[in-house]
Amino acid sequence: MVHTTFRGFRSEMANLRPVRDIGRVGAVEGALLRVGGLGAIARVGDQVSIDRYNRAPVCGEILQLHGSEVSILPDSPPDGVSIGDRVVLFGASGIAPSDAWIGRVIDPYGRPLDGAALLPGADERRLRAPPPKPAERRSLGARLETGMAVFNTFLPIVRGQRLGLFAGAGVGKSSLLGHLARNMHVDVVVIALVGERGRELREFVEQFLGKEGMKRSVVVAATSDQSPFVRRRCAWAAMCVAEHFRDQGKHVLFLVDSITRFAEAHREVAVAGGELPSLRGYPPSTAHMIMALCERAGPGSAGMGDITALFSVLVAGSDMDEPVADILRGVLDGHVVMDRKIAERGRYPAIDLLRSLSRSLPDAANDGENASIRAARQMLGTYHQSETMIRAGLYSEGSDPTLDQALRAWPELDAFIAEQESVSIRNSFARLDLILRRAGIAQTLQSRGSTQRVVRSGQNNLLAPDAGDQDLSNVSATLPAE
């Protein structure tokens, strides 16, 4: 630990320069500053500091080059900037993650936000690094325990998978991300809070993650009041931290809340740089920016670990065809849709299972498990198609045997989706099979690699043999009446 600290200290000392390149403000054009004297040495993306008269300096980033002049987008409105103000060039700025960052909250520049000192690591990483070579990457790995019945069964998450979480504001996505951060079986959790409200940072760390969750987590945060450069940089910086641990052979869970705000920040920067908006206000480069970030997650190559990623997406009015949602659906390995109507009736997580999909299936489950998933989805689909008629009292029991089964299964399946106990995958499938049996669906249960499995219902913990032809009617008879 001491050796790592001194390496970080030496890295900081090595970056100190006795001489700085200086330019002068020549014009203020809206949010952009025109600066002379840096055109021959500056590069797009370099960091600068603008010294204002009798005011604190303003940081910024070089956005355009115009011969001997450059255009700078400052981190805050250019109030107080005057012609001739000094501009100091710092050059390109990456980030140098360290193992000592675990348990800490940092900003997109690697500076601490939790009040304690923090030194960078020895090796600086590029913010926009390339992903591992496609031909050398491993396939998706084993299914992961999540502590949630719906992800243990219907929507499995496997090692190296990239999943999208599509939800409107206030539907419970932060709570869901916090639960997964605490309960998924990974080595390190890296969380990017992009454009969040200031008060939500502490709430997420203390309530959703808690002390146990923070023990293996690094939180990178940029609040909504910060400049688009900082908000966009937040996702890149967090990915650099995840890649730091991945390169050590560790399994990393990477959570972004939200990729929509990342895209909005990029839109502000791109439009300020002269790029014309094309699709609902987003410039053409938005698709590449999102896909480039997502491609850096996933399975690693030989000698590396893996990055399992969840990207949350804010969908206004549950519009799954809006640009950011549409881009992500095409590049990710599955999508989870959260519905406000489900949240309003009090079921959390408010996952709309019929609109959600994990592309790790059917490979992530055996034949018996896939049969159970198909049967349960069919029951939910059948109920959904006739829900209006059922609620209006127009359906008479016995008219349709399949719908009768769906009516019996629906209350328990709906409750099953909300289960968040720390149950195993095997327990979750045993519970699902029991629900299907109680509804009268004769499933052929196949062996799942154990002689026994636990069936959980309320406060009951029941053991049932796991043989393929075993009838669970004796188990269901001991459960509470429907």
Is 286 found in the same domain as 395? Answer: no
Residue 334 has pLDDT above 70, yes or no: yes
How close are the terminal C-alpha atoms of the chain, in Å?
A: 58
> Quick one: which H or E segment has residue 219?
strand 217-223
**Range of weakest confidence among 263-277, 308-322, 331-345:** 308-322
Domain of 35, CATH number, reads 2.40.10.170
* Best mean pLDDT range from 36-45, 120-129, 151-160, 460-469: 151-160
477 falls in which pLDDT band (50, 70, 90)? very low
**CB environment 342-353: b (16+ within 10 A), e (fewer):** bbeeebbbbbbb
12 falls in which pLDDT band (50, 70, 90)? low
Is 382 found in the same domain as 292? Answer: no
Give the residue, 420 or 318, on which the prediction is more confident: 420
Would you state the pLDDT for residue 95?
Answer: 92
Residue 200 has pLDDT above 80, yes or no: yes
Residue 49 covered by a domain: yes
Q: Which amino acid is at 141?
A: G
140 DSSP assignment: P
Give the residue, 444 or 442, on which the prediction is more confident: 442
Would you state the pLDDT for residue 481?
Answer: 37
Determine how many CB atoms are found less than 10 A away from the CB of residue 182: 18
33 falls in which pLDDT band (50, 70, 90)? very high
Domain of 382, CATH number, reads 1.20.1270
Of the candidates 138, 127, 143, the one whose C-alpha atom is nearest the C-alpha of residue 243 is 127
* Best mean pLDDT range from 48-62, 229-243, 311-325: 229-243
Phi, psi of 256 (to 5 degrees): -120, 125
Give the residue, 274 or 413, on which the prediction is more confident: 413
Phi, psi of 12 (to 5 degrees): -65, -45
Q: What is the largest CA-CA distance in the chain?
A: 86
Which of 45, 73, 91 represents a domain boundary (last residue)? Answer: 91
In angstroms, the Cα distances linking 316 to 169, 224, 230, 338 are 8, 18, 24, 12
Would you state the pLDDT for residue 136?
Answer: 94
Decide: 461 and 438 in contact? Cβ < 8 Å. no
Residue 181 has pLDDT above 80, yes or no: yes
Which of 348, 363, 378 represents a domain boundary (last residue)? Answer: 363
118 falls in which pLDDT band (50, 70, 90)? confident
Is 383 found in the same domain as 417? Answer: yes
258 falls in which pLDDT band (50, 70, 90)? confident
Residue 147 covered by a domain: yes
In angstroms, the Cα distances linking 292 to 121, 236, 296 are 25, 10, 7
Spatial CB neighbours of 321, under 8 Å, sequence gap ≥ 6: none
Average pLDDT, the chain: 85
Residue 1 covered by a domain: no
Is 112 found in the same domain as 31? Answer: no
Could you report the per-residue pLDDT of 455-472, keeping only the tens digit for each? 333 333 333 334 333 343
Residue 468 covered by a domain: no
Residue 6 covered by a domain: no
Residue 322 has pLDDT above 60, yes or no: yes
Would you state the pLDDT for residue 404?
Answer: 92
Is 332 found in the same domain as 434? Answer: no
Q: Mean pLDDT throughout 245-250?
A: 96
Determine how many CB atoms are found less than 10 A away from the CB of residue 14: 10
d(CA 60, CA 52): 13
Give the residue, 450 or 283, on which the prediction is more confident: 283
Is 275 found in the same domain as 173? Answer: yes
Domain of 245, CATH number, reads 3.40.50.12240
Decide: 299 and 140 in contact? Cβ < 8 Å. yes
Helical residues (DSSP H) of 345-466, grouped into ranges: 367-385, 387-391, 401-417, 425-438
Residue 61: domain span? 18-91
Q: What is the CA radius of gyration of the chain?
A: 26
Of the candidates 18, 56, 17, 60, the one whose C-alpha atom is nearest the C-alpha of residue 42 is 60
Would you state the pLDDT for residue 476?
Answer: 36
Is 183 found in the same domain as 104? Answer: yes
Residue 454 has pLDDT above 70, yes or no: no
This prediction's pTM: 0.84
Residue 447 covered by a domain: no
Residue 396 has pLDDT above 90, yes or no: no
Would you state the pLDDT for residue 455?
Answer: 36
Is 245 found in the same domain as 321? Answer: yes
Would you state the pLDDT for residue 121?
Answer: 84
Give the residue, 18 or 274, on which the prediction is more confident: 274
17 falls in which pLDDT band (50, 70, 90)? low
Residue 473 has pLDDT above 90, yes or no: no
Is 270 found in the same domain as 350? Answer: yes
Which of 91, 110, 143 represents a domain boundary (last residue)? Answer: 91
328 falls in which pLDDT band (50, 70, 90)? very high
442 falls in which pLDDT band (50, 70, 90)? low
Would you state the pLDDT for residue 8?
Answer: 52
The encoded tokens of residue 152 equal: 């243990």
Pairing of strands 452-457, 460-465: antiparallel
Is 382 found in the same domain as 327? Answer: no
**CB environment 358-387: b (16+ within 10 A), e (fewer):** bbbbeebbeebbebbbebbeebbebbeebe
Residue 127 covered by a domain: yes
Is 292 found in the same domain as 334? Answer: yes
Give the residue, 20 or 74, on which the prediction is more confident: 74
Is 412 found in the same domain as 297? Answer: no
Residue 156 covered by a domain: yes
Decide: 153 and 428 in contact? Cβ < 8 Å. yes
Spatial CB neighbours of 345, under 8 Å, sequence gap ≥ 6: none
How many Å separate Cα 58 from the centre of its chain? 31
User: Number of folded domains in the chain?
Assistant: 3
Could you report the per-residue pLDDT of 47-76, keeping only the tens digit for each? 899 999 888 898 889 988 988 899 999 888
d(CA 172, CA 343): 8
